[in-house]
Amino acid sequence: MDQPVLSLLERIQAGDEDALLALHARYASLVYSVAYRIMNDTMAAEEVTQDTFMRLWHKAALYDARKGSFVTWLLTIARRIAIDTFRQQRRDPLLETLWIDSSTEHWENALSANRDGDLPRLMKVIIQDLPEEQRQVIELAYFYGMTHSQIADYIALPLGTVKTRIRLGMEKLRAAWIDDPFTDPASNDQS
Amino acid sequence: MEHEDLYDLIPAYALDALDPDEKDRFEAWLRAHPDAQSLLDDYRQVADHLVMMAPVQPAPAHLQADLRARLAAERSSASPTAVSAPEPPPTLSNAGRTLRLHRRWRRTALLTAAAVVLVIVAGLVLIRPAAAPAENAAEAYARIAAEDGAGWFDVVPGDVSDAVTGDLVVTPDGGEAVIRVAQLPPIERDQTFQLWLVDQSGSRVSGGLFRPGTDDATYIRVPLDRPVADYQAFGVSLEPDGGSPLKDAPTGPRVFLVPLSS
């Protein structure tokens, strides 16, 4: 039977390497997936994955269960390490969207334990209903840490257009998350 | 900037997509409008789940072994007073030490990973060791690299490709050596790579045959019958299938050399 995450984190703080390896066995694929989405390179993604778990090894005490789920915290670490590495290596962001439909259940299983909102509905909007131009700017901000201005420069669009696309896309996602009946997530505003 | 404009920036703030000056204005506005906090919390929860935009891909199986190697490397590199246990309240100095150790072994672990895949999946490393080892060459490389006092020597490209890179690690007593080499050139079916051990007198002895892998790195255990100090170099040549027709000399071009006179 899987040990609870908090128990494993306590063991990590006591220097138990097996506890870290247990968390690695459980979450390495999710961390690797985020890293690969950003780095778009197998070796670099592996490096980010291992960096993430070494960070966990040293910083496990910083996890605060009151602030959110462990998985979310771990994947945030992975994303930040990947973004830092991406910037240092001056790579080019991947503009086209990657998606594997059959993989959604992995995310749902991993993220549903501590969810406060409607995860399947959010997932459906991400997969089916988010207009490509809104998805693109959100992905550039989320996966590459780009600001409004950086995105506008990168995809050669007016700053106002980028701001509008981010806002409209995020509004759709929020509506799906809170299951807002007054917002139609399938509404594809082309701004 | 008007209230409405700042209100519209809540989603972008949750994504951390505001430019610095815009962010400063927004945060000042947010402090004055605590009613906006719950909306921001919604958007932050959404942002926390945007990882779902990344397709799930299985992590390579060798990563767990690599992590073990990194932990072992860090443990063995720590000073006697700096035990391997993680430090609960991190400090800047400890973080710096950790980062340095981490960087020191990162390449080793990653290349070990590549080689494990190479050996297990592709099964292309055909080098003949002096005796069948309990660990493969990649594992031996990681173990030796983690030892205090291990020797390091660079791979020098030969006549076939300038892109060949890598290094050789040697145990402190000189009794074991493993070469890690990347970007080996592709070869034909009727060709092979051959390892040569060149002693201080210039005599060459074959160290075995191998083919390049499909991944970035290939690990080659050097079959030593004497300490490394007794050799001046290890080299690899490109030979016809079956190896050099000459027993004690290469006939093909040099692929790379590892000079040991550092």
Percent of residues, chain A, with pLDDT higher than 90: 57
Q: What would the mean pLDDT of B79-92 be, rounded to a whole number?
A: 43
Model confidence pLDDT, tens digit, residues B210-219: 887 666 688 8
Nearest CA in chain A to B96: A58
Asked if A75's CB is within 8 angstroms of B63's CB, the reply is no
Q: What would the mean pLDDT of B179-197 be, rounded to a whole number?
A: 87
Model confidence pLDDT, tens digit, residues A61-112: 999 988 888 999 999 999 999 999 988 887 778 766 555 454 566 777 777 6
Asked if A173's CB is within 8 angstroms of B54's CB, the reply is no
With beta carbons less than 8 A apart as the criterion, state whether A162 and A130 touch: no
Confidence of residue A13 (pLDDT cuts 50, 70, 90): very high
Q: Give every CB contact of residue B38 below 8 A, 6+ residues apart in sequence.
A: none
Percent of residues, chain B, with pLDDT higher than 90: 18
Confidence of residue B123 (pLDDT cuts 50, 70, 90): very low
Residue A4 is classified by DSSP as P
Q: Give every CB contact of residue B92 below 8 A, 6+ residues apart in sequence.
A: none
Asked if pLDDT for residue A186 goes beyond 90, the answer is no
A25 or B126: which leads in pLDDT: A25
Asked if A117's CB is within 8 angstroms of B58's CB, the reply is no
Amino acid at position B4, single letter: E
Asked if A46's CB is within 8 angstroms of B110's CB, the reply is yes
Q: What would the mean pLDDT of B13-41 be, rounded to a whole number?
A: 91
Q: Give every CB contact of residue A156 below 8 A, 6+ residues apart in sequence.
A: none
Asked if B42's CB is within 8 angstroms of A174's CB, the reply is yes
Q: What is the pLDDT of residue B55?
A: 84
What whole-number distance in Å separates Cα of residue A80 and Cα of residue A74?
10
B103 or A18: which leads in pLDDT: A18
Instruction: Name the residue facing A46 among B48, B60, B74 (closest C-beta).
Output: B60
pTM reported for the whole predicted model: 0.58
Q: Give every CB contact of residue B227 below 8 A, 6+ residues apart in sequence.
A: B173, B174, B175
Q: What would the mean pLDDT of A144-165 be, rounded to a whole number?
A: 94
Q: What is the pLDDT of residue A90?
A: 77
Q: Indicate the average pLDDT of chain B.
A: 77
Distances B239 to A178, B196, B198, B243, B257 between C-alpha atoms, Å: 67, 12, 17, 5, 15
The Cα of A156 is separated from the nearest Cα of chain B by a number of Å equal to: 17
For chains A and B, CB pairs below 8 A equal: 190
Instruction: Name the residue facing B56 among A29, A123, A178 (closest C-beta).
Output: A29
With beta carbons less than 8 A apart as the criterion, state whether A133 and A190 touch: yes
What whole-number distance in Å separates Cα of residue A100 and Cα of residue A36?
13
Asked if B90's CB is within 8 angstroms of A58's CB, the reply is yes
Q: Give every CB contact of residue A91 below 8 A, 6+ residues apart in sequence.
A: A39, A40, A41
Asked if A13's CB is within 8 angstroms of B88's CB, the reply is yes
With beta carbons less than 8 A apart as the criterion, state whether B52 and B87 touch: no
Contacts of B57 in chain A (CB under 8 A): 29, 32-33, 36, 100, 103
Q: What is the pLDDT of residue B262?
A: 54
Judged by average pLDDT, the poorest of A116-125, B2-11, B97-106 is: B97-106
Distances B225 to B150, B205, B208 between C-alpha atoms, Å: 19, 11, 13
The CA dihedral of A163, A164, A166, A172, to the nearest 10 degrees, is 160
Of A114, A139, A111, residue with least CA distance to A123: A111
Asked if A58's CB is within 8 angstroms of B98's CB, the reply is yes
Q: What would the mean pLDDT of B160-178 be, rounded to a whole number?
A: 88
Q: What is the pLDDT of residue B99?
A: 38
Instruction: Name the residue facing B18 among A103, A106, A147 (closest C-beta).
Output: A147
Asked if pLDDT for residue B117 goes beyond 70, the answer is no
Lookup result for tokens 């220097």: A15
Nearest CA in chain B to A24: B64
Confidence of residue A126 (pLDDT cuts 50, 70, 90): confident
Asked if pLDDT for residue A56 goes beyond 60, the answer is yes
What whole-number distance in Å separates Cα of residue B19 and Cα of residue B237?
56
Q: What is the pLDDT of residue A1?
A: 41
Note the ipTM here: 0.83
Judged by average pLDDT, the poorest of A15-29, B77-91, B141-155, B167-181 is: B77-91
State CA A67 to chain mean position distance.
17
* SS3 (DSSP) at B208: strand
Confidence of residue A188 (pLDDT cuts 50, 70, 90): very low
Question: Residue B12: in which H helix or E strand, if any?
Answer: helix B10-14
